[in-house]
Amino acid sequence: MTVWAPLCVLFAILLYALSSPMNYSETGFLFFYPLYSDYTIQCLYTTGTWMWVYTITWLMHYAANKKFNDTAYKYICGSALYAYLSHYLWIILVAVFVIRPYKIDFLPAIFIEVFLTNFAIISTYSVLNFFYELAVPPKS
């Protein structure tokens, strides 16, 4: 730890506050990216998104990029891109077929949404990976 650590934490909190707009005005609709119609808020939101993606990428590179278990490493690291590409499909399907019809309140809906979405991602990735390894066997 250095003397700069508290200042770095304060700077990170400031950047987080600037890059996370929490307004309810001038927002777009569900499929409107980046969700805000005001140009300044769009810039802050997208800059903050990329800032956090960059930071998390480097943190995970240093902290979590070690192979500790072959099977876990294959599924956790291998499914990352598939999860990124398919997560919104599963979020919408769970919301439309589970959360809305049963009128589930917000707090239980968050937990149901997270767990069912992750379950759908992992299970469909496992099936797709199984068929892929049948067609293209892994090298030994």
Single out the residue of 91, 90, 89, 60 nearest to residue 77, CA to CA: 60
Single out the residue of 129, 134, 131, 135 nearest to residue 82, CA to CA: 129
Which carries the bigger pLDDT value, residue 124 or residue 75? 124
Which carries the bigger pLDDT value, residue 36 or residue 107? 107
Q: Examine the domain organization and report whether 72 and 140 are in the same domain.
A: yes
- In this prediction, residue 34 has a pLDDT band, given cuts at 50, 70 and 90, of low
DSSP 138: P
Q: Examine the domain organization and report whether 73 and 106 are in the same domain.
A: yes
HEC profile for 37-94? CCHHHHHHHHHHHHHHHHHHHHHHHHHCCCCCCHHHHHHHHHHHHHHHHHHHHHHHHH
- Domain interval for residue 115: 68-140
Task: Give the percent of the chain with pLDDT over 90.
Answer: 41
Per the structure, how many domains does the chain have?
Answer: 2
Alpha carbon distance 5, 18 (integer Å): 20
Q: Examine the domain organization and report whether 80 and 135 are in the same domain.
A: yes
**Domain's final residue, options 43, 65, 87:** 65
Using the predicted structure, report yes or no on whether residue 100 has a pLDDT greater than 90. yes
pLDDT of residue 127: 97
Q: Which tens digit of pLDDT belongs to each residue from 58-95? A: 888 888 777 888 888 888 888 988 999 999 999 999 99
Q: Examine the domain organization and report whether 112 and 129 are in the same domain.
A: yes
- Residue 73 Cα to chain centre, angstroms: 18
pLDDT of residue 33: 62
Q: Examine the domain organization and report whether 61 and 72 are in the same domain.
A: no
Q: Examine the domain organization and report whether 46 and 82 are in the same domain.
A: no
Q: Which tens digit of pLDDT belongs to each residue from 8-33? A: 889 888 888 888 777 777 776 666 66
Q: Examine the domain organization and report whether 93 and 125 are in the same domain.
A: yes
Lookup: tokens for 103: 């009128």
Q: Examine the domain organization and report whether 97 and 138 are in the same domain.
A: yes
pLDDT of residue 30: 61
Domain membership flag for residue 34: yes
- In this prediction, residue 105 has a pLDDT band, given cuts at 50, 70 and 90, of very high
Mean pLDDT of the chain, nearest integer? 86
Phi, psi (rounded to 5 degrees) for 52: -75, -35
pLDDT of residue 93: 95
Sign of CA dihedral 119, 125, 128, 131: negative
Lookup: tokens for 99: 């959360």
